[in-house]
Structure 1
Amino acid sequence: MALKLDKVSRGPHLPTLVASSLSREIAQGRLAPGAQLPTEQALAQTFGVSRNVIREAIARLRSEGRVWSQQGRGAFVSDAPPPAVLTIDHEGLHDADNFRSLFELRGILEVQAAALAAERRSTDDLDKMRAAHEAMAAAIYGSIAWLNADLDVHRTIAAATGNGYMLQFLSFVSERVRDSILASGNKHSSEDVAQITLGEHERILAAIGDGNAEEAQAAMRAHLVGAAQRVGVTGKPSKTAMDDEKNRIDRVPSKRQPRQTADAGVLK
């Protein structure tokens, strides 16, 4: 069966696009179980990318259980994907409704994670959150470094819940959101927006540091409403109370005002 592979559009996260295209070929049976993938060189020519991009894409498919590799022979389609593997087609996230749905799912998880983190966090957890926040403050807003540091802030919050499934699932969903933003080029460069985002994170971390689960939830809700607007997610959340909550916490100061360092503006 002939493969239907096209060159991928240039973008900051080409391996994701290549992996999605190959996943589609596997799902639709054009790359059958046991079939050998074309060589790195052939795939690089087909997609119009470097061999390093192909290697990274295949590594992603291997981590998802879709292919396996044998040294000296190449990569082969697995007999069947592991049943526990969760996949979200990157191409499908170009659809505004799909992206909105994924962002909504992320919100449900993140709000509860913030509350659990406030109840369960350790001193080490707080140190990791602050380190991620420092890295974010030092990065250029909208850059890959910024987005990765942003993801790390949310990962450290999820890790502080002590729930491994929460961390794994939230990381997976957040990575798909990040990859979609990178591929779309939907990034801002406003320093004002950068400070707003950092301020939202500071309020979340302050509430978690205080052990205030209710305020941590409220701060996370407000942050996600703002984040949705910044990445162009339109339409109201499923609960309009999210907007009401954002207005409420904008009017009510945090119980503990964040103290900033001179160099990075992070909580201590």
Structure 2
Amino acid sequence: MTTRTQQLVDTLTAHIQEGVIRPGERLPTESSLIETHGVSRTVVREAIARLKAAGLIETQHGRGSFVLARPSTTGFDPAPRSRQDVLDLLDLRMGIEVEAAGLAADRRTEPALAALGEALDGFARAAGHPSAAVNADFRFHLRIALATGNRYYGDLIASFGPAMIIMPRERLRPARPDFDTIVAEHANIHAAIERRDREAARAAVRVHLSNSRARLLNG
């Protein structure tokens, strides 16, 4: 069972990974974290200690805890520059995200599931708004990675950034069947993770990314 300390660590890690709290910015105060998350001071201090041990934050005496910049990978540039790059990136994502979904189904916490549902709802509302849709789509996939509880999955998907989401503008218009289909594919992934069905979650991501490839080839 995931402890309240680990739940708080997961939540704050997600905020850091998603840029809600950016490098150089201060974490909320102990009192604020206690009030917002309904936890004890001991839980907050242990969570802060774990974030420090993971190299995500540093504590400055008398000033609080601040988010550290994560070291960049050496020369790895995932931004696709051609149609073939997009297809190759989908192949890579298939290998990573299928397994991530299975782990997320096994390990997800209630806060992680709520964050995934929030991203799903945000994506569904973003029809007709290409930039918002791409960012919401990326958040959904990132939150699956974060729900694994394995920081390497989160770090890797975060390194891809929203550029990993390739969606023709015309497919983002309201009442487009393609957009509704993509929302449904995301909902299937969320549902499998919610019911902790490892194999169904893996299959749902495999179907979604396979369909993404087909949509790109047929677009």
The 1:107–1:174 alpha-carbon spacing in structure 2 relative to 1, beyond 3 Å, is farther
| Corresponding pairs, count | 146
Identity of aligned residues (%): 30
Match of 1:198 among 158, 163, 183: 183
The 1:233–1:186 alpha-carbon spacing in structure 2 relative to 1, beyond 3 Å, is farther
- Deviation of the 1:233 alpha carbon: 4.2
Structure-2 separation of matches of 1:129 and 1:196: 18
The 1:158–1:212 alpha-carbon spacing in structure 2 relative to 1, beyond 3 Å, is same
The 1:131–1:116 alpha-carbon spacing in structure 2 relative to 1, beyond 3 Å, is same
Larger radius of gyration, structure 1 or 2?
1
The 1:198–1:175 alpha-carbon spacing in structure 2 relative to 1, beyond 3 Å, is same
- Deviation of the 1:193 alpha carbon: 1.3
The 1:192–1:105 alpha-carbon spacing in structure 2 relative to 1, beyond 3 Å, is same
Q: What's 1:219 paired with?
A: 204
- Deviation of the 1:171 alpha carbon: 2.3
Aligned: 1:84 with 2:52:
no
Structure 2 unaligned regions, length at least 5? 1-70
Structure 1 unaligned regions, length at least 5? 1-81, 235-268
Q: What's 1:151 paired with?
A: 138
CA RMSD of aligned residues (A): 2.2
Q: How does 1:1-268 map to 2 (within 5 A)?
A: 84-88=73-77, 90=79, 93-141=80-128, 143-178=130-165, 181=166, 187-188=170-171, 189=173, 191-230=176-215, 232-233=216-217
Q: Which amino acid is 2:77 matched to?
A: I
Q: What's 2:63 paired with?
A: none
Q: Report the TM-score, using the length of structure 2 for normalisation.
A: 0.60
- Is the 1:102–1:173 Cα contact (8 Å) retained in structure 2? no
- Is the 1:141–1:194 Cα contact (8 Å) retained in structure 2? no
More relative contact order, 1 or 2 (CA 8 Å, 6+ apart): 2
- Is the 2:134–2:162 Cα contact (8 Å) retained in structure 1? no
Structure-2 separation of matches of 1:164 and 1:233: 33
The 1:120–1:138 alpha-carbon spacing in structure 2 relative to 1, beyond 3 Å, is same
Deviations 1:49-103 (A, max 9, x none): xxxxxxxxxxxxxxxxxxxxxxxxxxxxxxxxx783343274xx33332221112
Structure-1 separation of matches of 2:84 and 2:154: 25
Structure-2 separation of matches of 1:158 and 1:104: 17
- Deviation of the 1:120 alpha carbon: 0.1
Structure-2 separation of matches of 1:87 and 1:195: 33
Structure-2 separation of matches of 1:145 and 1:83: 26
Q: What's 1:71 paired with?
A: none
- Deviation of the 1:109 alpha carbon: 0.8
Structure-2 separation of matches of 1:107 and 1:187: 25
The 1:175–1:139 alpha-carbon spacing in structure 2 relative to 1, beyond 3 Å, is closer
Q: Going by fraction, where is helix more abundant, 1 or 2?
A: 2
Structure-2 separation of matches of 1:83 and 1:150: 23
**Which consecutive aligned stretches of 4+ in structure 1 deviate over 3 angstroms post-superposition?**
82-86
- Is the 2:130–2:169 Cα contact (8 Å) retained in structure 1? no
Structure-2 separation of matches of 1:169 and 1:149: 18
> What secondary structure is seen at the aligned counterpart in 2 of 1:101?
helix
> What secondary structure is seen at the aligned counterpart in 1 of 2:74?
coil
Structure-1 separation of matches of 2:139 and 2:192: 18
Structure-2 separation of matches of 1:131 and 1:161: 17
The 1:94–1:193 alpha-carbon spacing in structure 2 relative to 1, beyond 3 Å, is same
Q: Report the TM-score, using the length of structure 1 for normalisation.
A: 0.50
The 1:141–1:186 alpha-carbon spacing in structure 2 relative to 1, beyond 3 Å, is closer
